[in-house]
C-alpha cells in the first residue's frame, strides 16, 4: 500500500515542478507574481527563463530517476531538491514577499517534498 502512494506523490511533485517551469517559460510575469516576488516589467526575463529551465529540468530529472533508477534514487533526489523550496522561502521573505506565500507555498512545498522522500525511502 505504501509503494503506490510513494510513487504517486513523487510523480505528482515531479509533474508539478515541470509545469511550474513551463509556466515560467511561457508566462514569466504571471509566474513570478505567483512565486511571491513580482518581476520588474522591463528586465527580469532572462532570470525568469533560467528559473523556468531549472524547474523543468528538475521535473524531468525526477521522473527519469523514478523510471530508470527506482525509489531509492528518487528519494535521495527529493531529499536534496527540498533545498530549493526551502531557499525559495527565504528569497521571498528577503525580497518583500508575504509570509503567507513564503510559508504557505514554498515552505509547505519543502515539507511535502521531504514527506515524499521519506515515503520513497520506506517503499
Quick one: what percent of the chain has pLDDT higher than 90?
90
Q: What is the pLDDT of residues 39-89, one digit of tens each?
A: 888 777 898 999 999 999 999 999 999 999 999 999 999 999 999 999 999
- Collapsing DSSP to helix, strand or coil, 53 comes out as helix
pLDDT value at 15 more than 90? yes
Q: What's the confidence (pLDDT) of residue 41?
A: 82
Q: Which long-range contacts (CB under 8 A, 24 or more apart) does 97-103 make?
A: 97/36, 97/37, 98/36, 101/35, 101/36, 102/36
Could you give the angle at which helices 71-81 and 83-94 cross, rounded to 10 degrees? Answer: 20
- Tell the residue number behind the cell numbers 532572462, with chain if given: 46
Give the range of the structural domain holding residue 59, as residue numbers without chain letter. Answer: 2-122
Number of domain units in the chain = 1
Q: How many CB atoms lie within 10 A of CB 21?
A: 21
Joined grid coordinates for residue 67: 523510471
pLDDT score, position 45 = 87
Amino acid at each position: 500500500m505504501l509503494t503506490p502512494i510513494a510513487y504517486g506523490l513523487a510523480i505528482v511533485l515531479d509533474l508539478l515542478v515541470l509545469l511550474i517551469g513551463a509556466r515560467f517559460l511561457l508566462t514569466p510575469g504571471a509566474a513570478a507574481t505567483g512565486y511571491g516576488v513580482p518581476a520588474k516589467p522591463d528586465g527580469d526575463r532572462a532570470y525568469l527563463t533560467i528559473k523556468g529551465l531549472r524547474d523543468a529540468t528538475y521535473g524531468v530529472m525526477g521522473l527519469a530517476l523514478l523510471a530508470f533508477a527506482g525509489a531509492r534514487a528518487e528519494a535521495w533526489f527529493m531529499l536534496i531538491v527540498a533545498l530549493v523550496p526551502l531557499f525559495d522561502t527565504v528569497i521571498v521573505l528577503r525580497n518583500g514577499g508575504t509570509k503567507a506565500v513564503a510559508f504557505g507555498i514554498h515552505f509547505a512545498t519543502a515539507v511535502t517534498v521531504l514527506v515524499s522522500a521519506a515515503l520513497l525511502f520506506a517503499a
